Amino acid sequence: MFSSAGHAGDVRIFGLPSGREFKRVPVFNTDCMVGWGITNESKAIIGTDADGRVKYNTGDTHHIHPSYTDGIYDGRYLFVNDKLNCRLGRVRLDTMECDRITEIPNIQGFHGTFPDKRDPVNPDINYTTRVFCGSEFSIPLPNFGQGIDDEASYRSLFSCIDAETMDVRWQVLIDGNCELVASSYDGKLAATTQYNTEMGVHYEDMMSAEMDSCLFFNIARIEEAVKDGRFTTYGESKVPVVDGLRDSNTDPRTALTCYVPIPKNPHGVNISPDGKYYACAGKLSPTASLIAHEKVLQWFDGVLADTRDAVVAEPELGLGPLHTAFDGRGNAYTTLFLDSQIVKWSVEGAIKFYQGDKSVQVVLDRLDVHYQPGHGFTSMGETREADGKYLISDNKFSKDRFLPVGPLHPETSQLIDISGDKMKLVHDNPVTSEPHDSIIIRRDIIKTKQVYALDQFPLAIKNAKESGVFREGKKVTIKIASQAPAFSLREFRVKKGDEVTIILTNLDKIEDLTHGFAIERHNINFVVNPQETKSVTFKANKPGVYWCYCTHFCHALHMEMRSRFIVEP
Among residues 168, 208, 207, 174, the alpha carbon closest in space to that of 192 is found at 174
Following DSSP, what letter does each residue of 445-456 receive, concatenated? Answer: G----SS--GGG
User: What is the dihedral sign for C-alpha 346, 347, 352, 354?
Assistant: positive
Report which of 488, 318, 431 is spatially closest to residue 11, judged by C-alpha positions: 431
pLDDT value of residue 256: 98
Give SS3 for 429.
Answer: strand
Residue 167 pLDDT: 98
Instruction: Choose among 484, 274, 306: nearest CA to 383.
Output: 274
CA separation for the pair 389, 424 (Å, rounded): 11
pLDDT value at residue 194: 93
For the chain, the domains span: 454-568
Tell me the three state secondary structure of residue 378. strand
Does the N-terminal peptide bond of residue 273 adopt cis geometry, omega within 30 degrees of 0? no
Closest by CA to 155, choosing from 112, 97, 199, is 199
pLDDT in tens, the chain (569 residues): 999 999 999 999 999 999 999 999 999 999 999 999 999 999 999 999 988 899 999 999 999 999 999 999 999 999 999 999 999 999 999 999 999 999 999 999 999 999 999 998 888 999 999 999 999 999 999 999 999 999 988 999 999 999 999 999 999 999 989 999 999 999 999 999 999 888 888 888 888 889 999 999 999 999 999 999 999 999 999 999 999 999 999 999 999 999 999 999 999 999 999 999 999 998 999 999 999 999 999 999 999 999 999 999 999 999 999 999 999 999 999 999 999 999 999 999 999 999 999 999 999 999 999 999 999 999 999 999 999 999 999 999 988 889 989 999 999 999 999 999 999 999 999 998 888 889 999 999 999 999 999 999 999 999 999 999 999 999 999 999 999 999 999 999 999 999 999 999 999 999 999 999 999 999 999 999 999 999 999 999 999 999 999 999 999 999 999 999 999 99
Give dist(CA 500, CA 538) in Å, integer.
5
Residue-wise DSSP of 71-126: TEEEEEEEEEEETTTTEEEEEETTTTEEEEEEEPTT-EEEEEEEE-SS-SS-TT--
Beta bridge partners of 457: none
State how far the Cα of 291 lies from the Cα of 305, in Å rounded to an integer.
Answer: 15
CATH of domain 454-568: 2.60.40.420
Task: Give which of 239, 284, 240 is closest to 266, Cα–Cα.
Answer: 284
